[in-house]
A = this chain, B = another copy of it.
Amino acid sequence: VLDPRAFLREKREGRTHAPEDLRAFISAHARGDIPDYQVSAWLMASFLNGLDESETDALTQALLHSGRVFDWKDLGRPSADKHSTGGVGDKVSLILAPLVASCGVLVPMVSGRGLGHTGGTLDKLESIPGFRTRLSPEAMRSQLDALGVVMVGQGPDLAPADGKLYALRDVTSTVERDYFIVPSIVSKKIAEGAGALAYDVKCGNGAFMTTPEAATRLARRLVRTSERLGARAAARVTDMNQPLGIAVGNALEVIESVEVLRGGGPADVRELTLELSAVMLRLAGAEPDHAVARGRASRALDSGAALECFGKMVEAQGGDRRAAEESRLAGAPLKVPVTAPVSGTLVGVDTFALGDLVVGIGGGRRSKEDLVDPRVGMRVLRRIGDRIRAGEPVAELHLASPDESALERTRRAFVIEDRACGAPELILASVESATDC
């Protein structure tokens, strides 16, 4: 039997845990046999003294095996999924999941809600009237078999130890470490049963990782750990120094997603969706060549095949398919333009501030109990590098009620200076699966 005090002493002194001890510790916590106060002391010791790769693997395995692990192999098709570390305006999942499914690869996507200043796929989907994000395992299986895609929330039996551990990390200031973040993400993705994983590691002032170095390090660790747990994996480090696309806010992002599914929409949203879809198709073995895979993904958007799959999924999950497809979602009562105070070039956007503002006007949660207003948000009308004249609108706020301070904070988030500035790259780095290269 594991002695929790000796285990704590080991990490306190900077030693490395035996994988079986670490698994036993986390499993015992999940079962309620080790109390929170011993685990939180371990979290702090690990935060300060580190976990190496073998410990990160062991932690991932312990979280994974704390609950149900899905397996879709009997459905006879490859499966894949994507995970984003979270940003502002990132609606890629809504487009990519039906797109990849329409190309013959199963997408058993388990998503989360908004965290901090970022949006969450579940919150966006729930702005479609009637859409259910809780399905039984049986319903997931039959929908996957019929449509190739399902988009649901994390049920209580999927990596339950992770939920327990995350809640403890949140309240003990032990969140920001790769070796805690990676097991939390990878365990849930492996538990979903996806055989191939594409990671989108956001980088910039609207992301949790602010430097390309930190983001690339996290991307490598996500790929390596996923592979050691038995999945194929690759990652892209992508820019989050301005919102992705134009729409920020739940219903607004669904509407923009449908535009992209119709072959239109903002160029950056389409570009990132195609890139990540191509990675998934390639990793899943549906198409070995990346350029060819991109071409297939592109055709799925332009032909309406991806939109058709999206519509069927909405319908199957109880949502109002016509309202979603025809963008007839409830809108905010107030639409207020935010104008540029001076002329010049847009040289920067405080993306965190914009994400946080959308949460603040009701588009997200400050605490678990908060209700989300799907109608509110903003449209970001100008991009970094654009020339702007004083008085021109840079954004449009969608509000539930008048809010002068929101207007002023939005205005201040756009940095306009009298100098030239290029548009930033969208894809900053690629991490390919070790088994691929």
Contact = CB atoms under 8 A, between A and B. Distances in A.
Interface of A: 4-6, 8-9, 12, 35-45, 47-49, 168, 171-174
A173 B44 contact: no
Contact of A37 (B8, B40, B45, B48): B40
A393 B430 CA distance: 77
Nearest to A3: B173
Contact of A49 (B36, B38, B48, B168): B48
Main secondary structure of the interface of A (DSSP, over half): helix
Contacts of A45: 44, 48
Given A36-B37, A37-B36, A40-B37, A12 B171 contact: no
A173 B41 CA distance: 9
B5 A37 contact: no
A173 B37 contact: no
A47 B45 CA distance: 9
A12 B44 contact: yes
B38 A41 contact: no
A8 B173 contact: yes
A171 B40 contact: no
A41 B11 CA distance: 13
A48 B12 CA distance: 7
Contacts of A4: 171
A173 B38 CA distance: 9
A208 to B, nearest CB: 15
A392 to B, nearest CB: 40
Nearest to A9: B173
Contacts of A5: 171-173
A268 to B, nearest CB: 34
Contacts of A47: 12
A36 to B, nearest CB: 4
Given A45-B44, A45-B48, A173 B12 contact: yes
Contacts of A171: 4-5, 35, 37-38
A38 B48 CA distance: 16
